[in-house]
Structure 1
Amino acid sequence: MRAVTPAGTLAALEVQANPARAARMAAYHKVPRRYLGLSNALCNDLATDLRRSLSLPDRLALADALWRTDIFEARITAAKLLVQARIRPDDHGAWALIQSWLPDLDSWAIADATAMAGQRRLVADPARLDTVETWTMSSHLWTKRAALVFTLPWTRQRHPKPAEKNARARILTWAADYTTDPSWFIQKSVAWWLRELSRRDPDTVRTFLARHGPAMKPFARKDAARHLPSSPSLF
């Protein structure tokens, strides 16, 4: 395993900084932090290389250090360091680190990068849904949103096993509770979950929208039904 320091990794990001693009990113994301102006692909390539070359303890330490810089691309890279289906010998440290980041989430791009890592840890151990369910009661918007974005893998089974069906039904009860939340990001997370599910289980989405659609914001209801055959009853 090669020696990699947080300072060296940050320097590898900073040397490719694009100030003009960074200014545009800052204006777009509207969250006051430092932006380097790097592409998602560049962060992904660096993280992929580091995942292959670092031991798990070193990777966790590096991800934690990068996250603490609060630099946009450093946080994206930190999350991508933990995007892995199987983390051996034990993924409890990775799951704990991902959870520790939730209170810091403040924008969709970093939140979604973190969710990509969290999704793998939930699929690896679905019992963690018990923890995720507690997020649905959080007063922190991004933690509450994470409960649906982290659980998107349960929309993707075309022929779910009984345990997967049960998990899907459970998560849909969370989504139902979210339909009365006025936040745009919460409404969008419900629509996202339903839209993805509609590709494999359209009947369940139709039933959900018939029952809970009237409580949803019009944009979210329309987005959720995007891949369903047109039905005046859904709008």
Structure 2
Amino acid sequence: MSDHLSSLLARLQQAADPELARQMAAYMKNRFVFFGIKKPEREVLTKEFIKSSRQIPVSDLLAMVYDLYDQTERECHYIAISLLERNYRRFTYKDFQMMYPLIDREAWWDSVDALRKPMSLWVKEQRQYLDEVMHRLLAADSFWQRRVAITLQLLWKEQTDTAWLERAILQNRHDEEFFIQKAIGWALRDYSKTNPDWVRSFLQRHELSRLAVREASKYV
């Protein structure tokens, strides 16, 4: 572990709030341990650390990301994802692939959906890899990886590849996993803001779960 990261962890430990940590853990169904540092304070504490990360070689940066994921406290996982988001434009496809295993590390909706963002931003700017990324995510046994596939194009608006959106949804529509059905509804609801006719037609043509339809239909 680098001295830079060790120093940050020491500052986080000093800022820890045990009572708030208990509340934050309870909100996440006691799946994780927390320092007890809310997002605004965490962003202040990590501002210079995140900013200076752009000067670190990518190989060292990715090692730091994995070191953060090795920590027990949930805030460290959030910071790791912030590093990825701040630096995604520096990544080659080989670097990008280091994010796949992180999806299933300490997986829950908060980290998975946050990690989707740098992955989505990278693929949106490197469209030549969209097919490869979607194939890999959709082939995964992990429903968390498939959730990322379904929601990868959130906020892409007119740049959405509807063929992949449709394929991701249809491949997973019979999966009873709650987080898959929510993802289907979320992806359709988001795209309905751009192309409500497409979403309306999709809902008419395909049978989806009541949960997915309810989530998808908010704006159509």
Q: Deviations over 1:7-37 (max 9, x none)?
A: 2121222222222221122222125332112
Distance 1:226 1:71 in 2: 36
Q: CA deviation at 1:198?
A: 0.5
Structure 2 equivalent of residue 195 of structure 1: 189
Q: CA deviation at 1:50?
A: 2.4
Structure 1 equivalent of residue 36 of structure 2: 37
Q: CA deviation at 1:121?
A: 1.4
Residue from 137, 152, 155 that aligns with 2:154: 152
Structure 2 equivalent of residue 9 of structure 1: 8
Alpha carbons of 1:43 and 1:148: their partners in 2 closer, same or farther (altered >3 Å)?
A: farther
Matched residue type, 1:204: W
Residue from 68, 71, 74 that aligns with 1:72: 74
Q: Do the aligned partners of 1:19 and 1:36 also contact (CA within 8 Å) in 2?
A: yes
Higher helix share: 2
Matched residue type, 2:86: Q
Q: Give secondary structure in 1 for the equivalent of 2:61.
A: helix
Distance 2:75 2:41 in 1: 9
Matched residue type, 1:15: Q
Structure 2 equivalent of residue 173 of structure 1: 167
Structure 2 equivalent of residue 49 of structure 1: 48
Distance 1:16 1:85 in 2: 26
Structure 1 equivalent of residue 141 of structure 2: 139
Q: CA deviation at 1:143?
A: 1.3
Q: How many residues matched?
A: 215
Distance 2:72 2:153 in 1: 25
Matched residue type, 1:226: K
Q: Deviations over 1:129-177 (max 9, x none)?
A: 21232222322121111112333243x22xx4xxx5xx22222211122
Structure 2 unaligned regions, length at least 5: none
Matched residue type, 1:188: K
Structure 2 equivalent of residue 215 of structure 1: 208
- Are 2:186 and 1:225 equivalent residues in the alignment? no
TM-score norm. by structure 1 comes to: 0.81
Q: Do the aligned partners of 1:83 and 1:117 also contact (CA within 8 Å) in 2?
A: yes
Q: CA deviation at 1:93?
A: 5.4
Distance 1:46 1:83 in 2: 17
Distance 1:106 1:141 in 2: 10
Q: CA deviation at 1:85?
A: 7.2
Alpha carbons of 1:103 and 1:123: their partners in 2 closer, same or farther (altered >3 Å)?
A: same
Q: Do the aligned partners of 1:179 and 1:215 also contact (CA within 8 Å) in 2?
A: yes
Structure 2 equivalent of residue 99 of structure 1: 100
Cα RMSD of the aligned pairs, angstroms, is 2.2
Distance 2:168 2:200 in 1: 17
